[in-house]
Amino acid sequence: MSAQPEHIEGNPEKRDGRDAGQTDESRLNRLEGIGCARKRREDPRFIQGKGNYVDDVKMPGMTFGVMVRSPYAHARIKRIDTSRALALRGVIAVITAEELKPFKLHWMPTLAGDVQAVLADGKVSFQNQEVAFVIAEDRYIAADGAELVEVEYEELPAVVDPFKALEPDAPVVREDLAGKTVGAHGARRHPNHIFTWEIGDKDKTARAFDNADVTVKQDMLYPRVHPCPLETCGCVASFDKVKGDLTVYITSQAPHVVRTVVGLLSSIPESKIRIISPDIGGGFGNKVGVYPGYVCAIASSIVLGRPVKWIESRAENLTTTAFARDYWMSGEVAATRDGVIKALRVHVTADHGAFDACADPTKWPAGMFHVCTGSYAIPNAFVCVDGVYTNKFPGGVAYRCSFRVTEAVYLIERMIDVLAQKLGLDKAEIRLRNFIRKEQFPYQTPLGLEYDSGDYEPALRKALAATGYQELRAEQAARRKDLQAEWLLGIGVVTFTEIVGAGPSKMCDILGIGMFDSCEIRVHPDGSAIARMGSMSQGQGHQTTYAQIIASEAGIPSSVIQVEEGDTATAPYGLGTYGSRSTPVAGAAVARAARKIREKARRIAAHLLEVSPDDLEFDLDRFVVKGSPQQAKSVKEIAWAAYNNVPPGMEMGLEAVDYYDPPNFTFPFGAYICVLEINRFTGESKVRRFYALDDCGTRINPMIIEGQIHGGLTEGLAVAMGQELPYDAQGNVLGGTLMDYFVPTAVETPVWETDFTVTPSPHHPIGAKGVAESPHVGSIPCFTAAVVDAFAHLGVTHMTMPHTAYRLWQQCQELGLSKRP
């Protein structure tokens, strides 16, 4: 005992769980386990300016790369002259597709089964497409060099509208696919057609529509937006020509996937590739893919044998690396006169831009759009999605959501409101009439998903009570009657169900790799521990929350647990962090690895106490002999013994690794209410109140959950009220700076109210479901619902996002509301 070192971090109190005078409560508090709002372990470095983001990485001999980009959306490249750039002092090299061809790196595979030009191969297909890459001694010279690269273009007609793209004489976006009538997801019926994806029973759904009392139809656009994390994308690639090792610091939400892709592209074995995601300044889906800038930096470093840094500018970020949405949806609902929904039918025209680079599980080209039956017991449904090429930049990432879930939730939440308005039903009441009931879980949807758990009605009733919904409706009725009222009042109600935690490997893979995730835990002799993860935080606080899971499961205080992510040289293979998969998948791996530690610790404790393992029970941070509480061994004591006194036949050490392949997705849900006012003379809008009730199952750290919800709601506000990347007819992107692209400031952002219920996931080891994307997914339709509701009494059923002051004013104009008396 005396040889046992004390923990050096945290409270210096004696840490033996058996000490007299230590209450169970103080031991519990010291663990800082699941449910504790512990402060974040990440914060000390960030608040002192000591974060280590990719642009902070500096290496000896490092060079800097800048991309030369196309000013045209669609053009043939007649000639590229790099001689003036190469003549500039400090420019080291300029690469074009010609230089990459010998290495077969001028094209790369996308996650969606398509290929994408790394540097334009004879033709550009979107504005700002990558044409050449200039490498120089510093970033100023590289920028000068990029200016000196002369490119001669022959402009071609561009197509930016996905419907026009499918017309017979439309310009062909992808000549490289000429004659290919079958793509990665089946038949292509037009040179600009990528795939048709159908799910559900078409005939049965059609019959339900034929026999319905009431049907409604609504077309809606989910505009093209961008996740716009505050840190843009970038990397530092460093190839050691002597050792043949490649190290890449990169802004990646999925470093292991990047390693596999780089291995495929470069033919360097994965064992000689080290991908390091350092601190990441926000991702929101933007940092999942592999982009031409990364490939150019890596290729240049392999050729030059010097480190190459590439950091994109904000304009490059907003116009080239991964848009989201751009879904043209058409929904139809069949229902009874009482508002009970009998069928849902959806068609989507999905604008994927010039290359199909959507980040979706391989088998699902529209992601998990088939969660579009929402929280409602809809017996029949059919969905058809057509993917289309246009002269716009590639992407189709999940902006703070699981793959295409924001689109799906928007569709169903809008449709149920449209139905309510048609039937003259209250928007809360129609939801209560259609909810999947608690006893129906696990619930099989008509589109093939199995919802794990849910309890929707109490959540909505709690939300209605908390916001005084009936009073709000009464206030609205009075306001509508008051012809002098300057402000219109709209109330949005949304009861969404998300699908997160991709996912079961039988359904979900990326490049053939199942979407499991992983955790490795090593407990050191002093009882402290390190956990290494396949996931990658971009601000979610994994270093804090994973430690809490281990604390509760293995009895090791959070304060002495290190959590490491993002370095493929040390972490077990994982699929990364996006689609709210960290808690549902990696978090489950953490819990299971910690349980393996606990079970080995139990056997060591039994050996030390000379009892059978079955005679022991786990008590917070120790094992106690049943019926004999004075006989106990703390986990800390057991950790020491693991390195000197284990039972005969047992391996030394206290380590565990777990690769978790989830049996199902998780299905968080929520009930949101937005109260919003619109000035009918100016179109100005004000969020008076936003109440968000989230149910993410077991809550690991309430402080972090609340922070994630605030952030998600704010991003939802951004999308609904202002974000859009519009294009003109020539294919010029019009939203490429923060002057044009809306990011809310503290002034536009309202104060959020959060609340919760707890319905654990039955299949997750600790019952947790994931939370960070729910507020984005749920709030966007809620803002639209509130905006439309302000005009609903005048017959308006839908309005297209973003709901800017100008557009709201236009709506007021159209309805004759903006004329001053």
In whole angstroms, the minimum distance from the beta carbon of 754 to another protein comes to 10
> Which residue in 407, 773, 782, 811 is the catalytic one?
773
- The smaller minimum CB distance to another protein, of residues 483 and 746, is found at 746
Select the residue interacting with another protein from 23, 58, 471, 795 (CB under 8 A).
58
> Which residue in 233, 401, 508, 696 is the catalytic one?
401
Select the residue interacting with another protein from 13, 43, 175, 486 (CB under 8 A).
43
Q: Distance between CA atoms of 229 and 226, rounded to whole angstroms?
A: 9
Does residue 752 bind another protein (CB under 8 A)?
yes
Please confirm, yes or no, whether 228 is among the known catalytic residues.
no
Binding mask 731-750 for another protein (x = CB under 8 A): ------xxx---x-xxx-x-
Please confirm, yes or no, whether 235 is among the known catalytic residues.
no
In whole angstroms, the minimum distance from the beta carbon of 777 to another protein comes to 15
Of 727, 761, 318, 754, the C-alpha closest to 497 is: 761
Please confirm, yes or no, whether 400 is among the known catalytic residues.
yes
Of 539, 464, 522, the C-alpha closest to 639 is: 522
Does residue 114 bind another protein (CB under 8 A)?
no
Taken in order 741, 746, 750, 755, the sign of the CA dihedral is: positive
Does residue 50 bind another protein (CB under 8 A)?
yes
Residues 237-266 that bind another protein (CB under 8 A): none
Does residue 276 bind another protein (CB under 8 A)?
no
Select the residue interacting with another protein from 72, 133, 249, 284 (CB under 8 A).
284
Stretch that binds another protein, among 209-217, 278-286, 448-456, 590-598 (CB under 8 A): 278-286
> Which residue in 400, 404, 431, 602 is the catalytic one?
400
- 564 in the Ramachandran plot: left (φ > 0), alpha (ψ -120 to 50) or beta? beta
- The smaller minimum CB distance to another protein, of residues 537 and 664, is found at 537
Residues 523-542 that bind another protein (CB under 8 A): 538-541
Select the residue interacting with another protein from 192, 232, 252, 757 (CB under 8 A).
232
In whole angstroms, the minimum distance from the beta carbon of 802 to another protein comes to 17
Side chain identity at residue 713, one-letter code? L
Does residue 47 bind another protein (CB under 8 A)?
yes
Collapsing DSSP to helix, strand or coil, 136 comes out as: strand
Binding mask 191-230 for another protein (x = CB under 8 A): -------------------------------------xxx
DSSP secondary structure string, 261-327? HHHHHH---GGGEEEE--B-S--TTTTSS--HHHHHHHHHHHHH-S-EEEE--HHHHHHHS-EEEEE
Collapsing DSSP to helix, strand or coil, 340 comes out as: coil
Of 569, 577, 637, 572, the C-alpha closest to 609 is: 637
Taken in order 770, 776, 779, 785, the sign of the CA dihedral is: negative
Beta-carbon contacts of 416 under 8 Å, excluding residues fewer than 6 positions away, are 333, 341, 374, 376, 427, 430, 431, 434
Select the residue interacting with another protein from 18, 22, 28, 40 (CB under 8 A).
40
Q: Distance between CA atoms of 313 and 623, rounded to whole angstroms?
A: 55
Q: Where are the alpha helices (DSSP H) in 105-254?
A: 139-148, 162-165, 202-210
In whole angstroms, the minimum distance from the beta carbon of 535 to another protein comes to 15
Identify the helix (H) or strand (E) that includes residue 731.
none
Q: Are 111 and 511 in contact (CB under 8 A)?
A: yes
- The smaller minimum CB distance to another protein, of residues 155 and 740, is found at 740
Q: Distance between CA atoms of 573 and 254, rounded to whole angstroms?
A: 10
Does residue 61 bind another protein (CB under 8 A)?
no
In whole angstroms, the minimum distance from the beta carbon of 568 to another protein comes to 21
DSSP secondary structure string, 10-50? S--S---TT-TT--HHHHHHHHT-TT--PPPSSHHHHHTT-
Does residue 48 bind another protein (CB under 8 A)?
yes
> Which residue in 116, 127, 129, 253 is the catalytic one?
253
Does residue 728 bind another protein (CB under 8 A)?
no
Annotated catalytic residues are 253, 400-401, 773
Chain residues binding another protein by CB under 8 A are 39-40, 42-51, 53, 55-56, 58, 89, 139-140, 228-232, 279-282, 284, 311, 313-314, 538-541, 703-704, 706-708, 710-715, 737-739, 743, 745-747, 749, 751-752
